[in-house]
Amino acid sequence: MLILRKHFAVHRKWFAMFLAITAAAVFGYFYWAHAHATRLPGGSSPPGLILGILGGAIIIFECLLWPRRMLRSWRWGSARLWMKAHIWFGLLTVPLILLHSGFMWGGWLSTILALLFAMVIASGIFGLVMQQFLPRRMLIDTPLETIYSQIEQTMQMALADARNLVLATCGLPKESLEASAHSQPSKESRSLPSKSSDRREGGRVVVGAIRQAELIPGQLLRVPVPQVPVPNCEVLRQKFNATIQPFLERGRRFRSPLSNRTRSAEFFRQLRAVLDPEAHSILEAIEECCEQRRQFDLQTRLHWWLHSWLWIHLPLSMALLVLMFVHAYVALKYW
């Protein structure tokens, strides 16, 4: 954290370093310009050359953060220290490079390099801002947050729980009952909660009592379920198959009214009005599954905003590094 005031204390020394070096560079640059030149000195002048070398060295250091993360042998110093240095030294390059350029675009190579540098700095600042606010929003708006890579697996387990609850409440559909009278049990009847996957305790069914994804324990779902199917619950099965199940499977990709919390509340309110009160607890559990799906969708979107900027920042940084060496070679060749 950097922007929020309560987290800025750990960056005070870095901020002081940034101000001190910037002030020294500005003072030295304009002092030399006042004493030796009639116009602002460029990159070929002594102060411009010194500032250019310093800015280039910092850019090289900035690019070392990626191999430091990938290679274990490079992992000297803490990750937090490296990140602080990456942020503040990266910001420090802005005044150094501006002074090095003499506040002029130069030729086509210098112009391209300047535009590339500006895009790298802008994408880095954008990522820094995202990292200040999105984790806090994720903590507040997605209390059911889970490991990002486990979202779909977790929702598949929640969907299986919801499907079993609907089946236990509504019973088998008529076509399954008719088929089971003449042949072996249907596929849906075999998906009824079994003794190995659930158990009844005083009128309650425990679905997924023991499950674990990686090291994150699953949600223990204890819902009071009628001992026999509730009459006139066919509408619950229909709504589940047509609207709820696709939403739990695909989330916002299904473009369901359940993606909106207000419309979802109205959907379940209308459904609750036509169902027997004995099935209301089941409906509340299914509504909780839909809320979990919405939070996971929000977590997915926030995760994308939190990390997608790197796909712009990293390639631009590598291009900047390469073009910087080309710029240095050309400048020394024609100096």
What is the DSSP secondary-structure string of 80-116? Answer: HHHHHHHHHHHHHHHHHHHHHHTT---SHHHHHHHHH
Residue range 228-271, pLDDT digits in tens: 888 888 999 999 999 999 999 998 888 889 999 999 999 999 99
Sign of CA dihedral 286, 288, 294, 298: negative
For residue 27, the enclosing domain spans: 5-143+308-333
300 in the same domain as 152: yes
Q: What pTM was estimated for this model as a whole?
A: 0.74
Does residue 59 contact residue 93 with C-beta atoms inside 8 Å?
yes
319 in the same domain as 297: no
pLDDT at 311: 93
Cα–Cα distances in angstroms (integers) from residue 110 to residues 57, 104, 127, in the given order:
17, 9, 26
Kindly report the backbone phi and psi dihedral angles of residue 205, in degrees, each rounded to the nearest multiple of 5, phi listed first: -110, 130
Tokens of 15: 């901020």
135 in the same domain as 271: no
102 in the same domain as 28: yes
Tokens of 133: 């606010």
* In the predicted structure, residue 110 carries a pLDDT above the cut 70: yes
42 in the same domain as 21: yes
294 in the same domain as 215: yes
134 in the same domain as 54: yes
Number of CB atoms found within 10 A of residue 215's CB = 6
153 in the same domain as 128: no
282 in the same domain as 296: yes
Residue range 29-80, pLDDT digits in tens: 999 998 887 788 888 889 999 999 999 999 999 998 888 777 766 667 788 8
pLDDT at 72: 67
172 in the same domain as 89: no
24 in the same domain as 134: yes
272 in the same domain as 235: yes
Q: Show Cβ contacts of residue 141 under 8 Å, excluding neighbours closer than 6 positions.
A: 295, 298
Domain count, the chain: 2
Does residue 237 contact residue 230 with C-beta atoms inside 8 Å?
no
* CA 55/CA 45 separation, integer angstroms: 15
The bridge status of strand 198-200 relative to strand 221-224 is unpaired
